[in-house]
Amino acid sequence: MKAFDPNYKLLDEMYQDDYYPAFLVDKVKDELQKVIALLESGETDTEVVQETLDEAVCGINDLQEEFDENDSEIETVARECIAATVAYIDLNKEIFCITHES
């Protein structure tokens, strides 16, 4: 995978909304960055990619209590923003390209 576009603002909608504490959005971003870093490393094993994505999702879900403690939550807007970021990464396309470039 070529390098992820550094100009794309991950989770921008969440960062722009004061309902989501920036330090918690940073933690969500960190989880997604793990997937991006794996893809950028050239990993070709789809099971490894899926496992890393699953771990990121679990890591994000584990943040729910912290969001609650800060009068926030991972609700519809947050889920849609996270999903849009994952869609931007376009995992299926990246995995397809990786496995066919090998």
User: What is the pTM assigned to this prediction?
Assistant: 0.85
Euclidean distance between CA atoms 94 and 8, whole angstroms:
17
Euclidean distance between CA atoms 74 and 50, whole angstroms:
22
Taking only the tens place, the pLDDT of each residue in 40-84 is 898 878 899 899 999 999 999 999 999 999 999 999 999 999 988
CA 76 vs. chain centroid, Å, equals: 16
All structural domains of the chain with their residue ranges: 12-101
Euclidean distance between CA atoms 13 and 26, whole angstroms:
13
